[in-house]
Amino acid sequence: MQVWKEYQAQHKDRFLQELLDLLRIPSVSADSRHNDDTKRCAEAVKEQLIKAGADNVEVCPTPGHPIVYGEKIIDPALPTVLVYGHYDVQPPDPLDLWHSGPFEPVIKDGKIYARGSADDKGQFYMHVKAFETLMATNTLPCNIKFMIEGEEEVGSSNLGPFLEQNKERLKADVVLISDTSMISLETPSIDTGLRGLAYMEVEVTGPNRDLHSGVYGGAVANPATILAKMIASLHDENNHITIPGFYDGVVELSAAEREALNKAPFDVEEYKKDLGVNDVWGEKGYTTIERTGIRPTLEVNGIWGGYTGEGAKTVLPSKAFAKISMRLVPGQDWINISELFKKHFEAIAPKSVQVKVTAHHGGSPYVTPTDSIAFKAASQAIESTFGQAPIPVRGGGSIPIVALFEKTLGLKTVLLGFGLDSDNLHSPNEKYDLANFYKGIETIPYFHKHFAELSK
Amino acid sequence: MQVWKEYQAQHKDRFLQELLDLLRIPSVSADSRHNDDTKRCAEAVKEQLIKAGADNVEVCPTPGHPIVYGEKIIDPALPTVLVYGHYDVQPPDPLDLWHSGPFEPVIKDGKIYARGSADDKGQFYMHVKAFETLMATNTLPCNIKFMIEGEEEVGSSNLGPFLEQNKERLKADVVLISDTSMISLETPSIDTGLRGLAYMEVEVTGPNRDLHSGVYGGAVANPATILAKMIASLHDENNHITIPGFYDGVVELSAAEREALNKAPFDVEEYKKDLGVNDVWGEKGYTTIERTGIRPTLEVNGIWGGYTGEGAKTVLPSKAFAKISMRLVPGQDWINISELFKKHFEAIAPKSVQVKVTAHHGGSPYVTPTDSIAFKAASQAIESTFGQAPIPVRGGGSIPIVALFEKTLGLKTVLLGFGLDSDNLHSPNEKYDLANFYKGIETIPYFHKHFAELSK
């Protein structure tokens, strides 16, 4: 619509400056030293929602980081879109690998470099600016509710109770989220499935104190060695995961479905080149697209133990630790998988060590229906601004709350993501392309328009 | 001798206070932030040698931490004992496990708690006080030279060149070192062999940046997982080390020698209880005494990679690291073993990762002759003050410089150690028993006396 285009062209620079201000707040939810920053970020989101035209805007306290709510109800008879996003970000370390400060956003080669630029500040903020556009041009075609939380990166543990307590307030017809990627601006795509997550921490204890590796080495189980052996045993020689029962219930795709999935444009040579690896790696019998989309995985996210400083220390450590997470697919339940992991990890520990397994958090996998009004609205919105229909793809990441929305609110979700796989999410030098940011702001009003029209 | 006993009884408290002052200097050689402290510690050692009566005392600079030299030549015709020790200490971390500050020595239950109390400040200082006793009572029976270095805990890399450049100055008949343990004050023992050491650091690189474990997990080799698999493969199911050629040349002991070795008092139940483990661990076919004394070993001293902070971060790390050291026995050369390790570790790396292997430092194993005059003198000295002859045992630790002394100076070494295995060397709450400290000061003058007499 011309009126949207004109309004957005006029306020383009301000939209960006506002986002940069938001990116300057180090709202790291995992690090309690940043609790004041997450609070400040929630307040900033509140201010922006009010300015954009939302009513009843509120920073809702939780036992953890607050949730920002706002709404614009123009007519209770019209359909309602619940926009979800998160203002919290991943920890920025390792800091020394950033080319500029993670919380000092820099625009370079048409990209915004900052922690949270793509995940998810840059993406949820497109919705705020799309909403502003609709309000300012007096063209809002449906009701909109915003729920922007601050604990997505640490497991959204307070979101479930919030949903339960606010069922009436959150009543809607669909949940709309921009927190995923598309293939490219030239080949737009929409994620139709997300993997679930089970995130564990393990602690292996050998001797009751750090020992001199000369005096005791060779005679006492070294927890770092044992942990390595235990981790090594979690994948077999075909890179299948060895936890008993892990694959039980995993929904296998039909040959036709797999064929369709593998039609997405993908160049393994380019993929290897981009990552700087000589070879891909993964479960035997599956392509890279399948490995990241439809198959469950197990990854070591962190490992530590013993002396890790400068130089040499001949210590036989008392303890070794690892953070291990599993991505889950339809048919797997994260609580069940967490329990299977714990049971297995405890079972394979040799007698000479002690093992403690803790579940951090998790979420169930989710597959979006592609025949819903909301998915069609999203597809048409993309077509309106990209000139072509999006390819439906299965995403590898997890947004555990998507399953939660279905369970608690009875709502389906549309994942209208504008990121790119190259955005360095959770990595140093996270970035979000300016072109994607503006394309999102341009596209989202069409979603509301088509959704309202198709709902008639 | 009554005159020694009286002198020592009179100055007992001062001896201890002087040691505590030395322990207050955080001379951590591995950490360059402590370079001023190691320098200050060398100066303090110099002052104490001068006060005790040594001549030509000098802090000799090296490209690393300095070496303190001092001597008392009473008659060039008399035998000369070269006392070696080290004033540097291991890093104190993990700091939170110390019950008192590592550099704020505390006396509790008859033990001195401080980093370096046993390894090696408390032990080399016994020699300074024994020398003072001999000087003050005018009973020095031989020439004594002191060489107290500051890089033992980081591989003594500047000691070799120093020995080469000071062959004349260091001329002696035997090297005497107190940097090992005995079984107990009730069952004195002398180490007759020490294992060698090869200390390696490995770096495994997967993708060229940290990745989102949801987007890339399952399709790209995770360096933490691969490192775990590589470490796991270094021991087979019998805990034999799998590096090709590793055991080549290892001197196997005869059945009679093994029987003698296993006669040393050792209670495996007490050992397990002390360490808080349900079971011992090690190479099949060997006892705990053999595993720590006559067999080579491989230990992970440190491992790290990915996110190790608070909470959860779903990262697929770009790199993972480990510090891995091997204890060597007669027949193994540390340079050869370092090369075998490097070659093997590079060979087992899958194509999907890159591996960098660096050798930190090392030293060759050493076996002391038990039929030498010096060993006899040590044995008689122990008998003079303990009332019984010491048991000869094979120690598990490494003092790489012992092989160096033989090679460069042509000198045999006697390891007259007064520590205990329970001293928490290289661990939090390192301690040295006051009784052992004073017993050492009491015993050492007898070594010089017997050595001078037996050399006649």
Longest CA–CA span in chain A (Å) reads 79
Residues 218-247 of A with CB under 8 A from B: 218-222, 224-225, 227-229, 231-233, 235
B426 neighbourhood in chain A, CB within 8 Å? 210-213, 313-315
Residues in chain B: 456
Q: Which one of B32, B218, B361 has the shortest CB-CB distance to A292?
A: B218
Q: Which residue has the tokens 């007519």?
A: A75
- The C-alpha atoms of residue B25 and residue B48 are separated, in whole angstroms, by 14
Does the interface ipTM go beyond 0.90? no
What does pLDDT average to in each consecutive run of 10 residues of chain B (456 residues)? 96 98 97 96 98 98 97 97 98 92 97 98 98 98 98 93 97 96 89 88 96 89 98 97 96 86 88 95 95 93 94 91 94 94 98 96 81 94 95 73 90 94 89 98 98 95
User: Structure tokens of A150?
Assistant: 């601050």
Range with the poorest average pLDDT among A15-29, A106-120, A178-192, B11-25: A178-192
Q: What pLDDT shows up at residue B187?
A: 87
Sheet holding A111-113, edge to edge: A106-108, A111-113, A431-433
Give the best residue of B197, B200, B209 to mutate against chain A (max A CB count within 10 A): B209
- The C-alpha atoms of residue B88 and residue B152 are separated, in whole angstroms, by 7
Is residue A398 predicted with pLDDT exceeding 80? Answer: no
Using a pLDDT cut of 90, give the percent of chain A over it. Answer: 80
Q: How many CB atoms lie within 10 A of CB B91?
A: 23
Residue scoring higher pLDDT (B195 or A149): A149
Q: What pLDDT shows up at residue A397?
A: 65
- Which residues have a Cβ under 8 Å from the Cβ of A400 and sit 6 or more positions away? A155, A156, A196, A197, A334, A361, A362, A363, A364
Sorted by where each starts, the structural domains of chain A and their CATH numbers stand as 2-194+366-454 (3.40.630.10), 196-250+296-363 (3.30.70.360)
3-state helix, strand, coil in chain A (%, to 5): 35, 25, 40
Task: Please tell me whether residue A33 adopts helix, strand or coil conformation.
Answer: helix
pLDDT tier, A391 (very low <50, low <70, confident <90, very high otherwise): confident
B181 neighbourhood in chain A, CB within 8 Å? 215
Q: Which residue has the tokens 């001068």?
A: B50
Cα-based angle A440, A442, A443 (whole degrees, multiple of 5): 65
Contact in structure between B368 and B405 (CB atoms under 8 Å): no
Q: Nearest residue of A to residue B182 by CA position? A: A215
Is residue A356 predicted with pLDDT exceeding 70? Answer: yes
Q: Is B302 near chain A, with CB under 8 Å?
A: yes
B211 neighbourhood in chain A, CB within 8 Å? 275, 426-427
Residues 315-344 of B with CB under 8 A from A: 315-317, 320-323, 325, 327
A350 neighbourhood in chain B, CB within 8 Å? 279, 281
Give the best residue of A197, A268, A315 to mutate against chain B (max B CB count within 10 A): A315
**Cβ-defined contact of A215 to B94 (cutoff 8 Å):** no
Q: What pLDDT shows up at residue B413?
A: 93
Picking from B406, B413, B362, B408, the residue whose alpha carbon sits closest to that of residue B165 is B408
Contact in structure between A382 and A451 (CB atoms under 8 Å): no
User: Structure tokens of A49?
Assistant: 């929602």
- Strand segments, DSSP code E, in A157-286 are 174-177, 189-194, 196-205, 211-212
Strands B315-316 and A319-328, by their bridges, are unpaired
User: Structure tokens of A244?
Assistant: 């008993």
**Residue at B212: amino acid letter:** H
Instruction: Kindly report, residue by residue over A216-239, the tens digit of the pLDDT.
Output: 999 999 999 999 999 999 999 999
- The C-alpha atoms of residue B84 and residue B52 are separated, in whole angstroms, by 16
**Residue at A336: amino acid letter:** N
Q: Which residue has the tokens 């029987």?
A: B259
Picking from A406, A454, A394, A417, the residue whose alpha carbon sits closest to that of residue A118 is A417
User: Structure tokens of A323?
Assistant: 């953070």
Task: Please tell me whether residue B168 adopts helix, strand or coil conformation.
Answer: coil
**CA distance to partner chain B, nearest, from residue A154 (Å):** 6
**Cβ-defined contact of B93 to A398 (cutoff 8 Å):** no
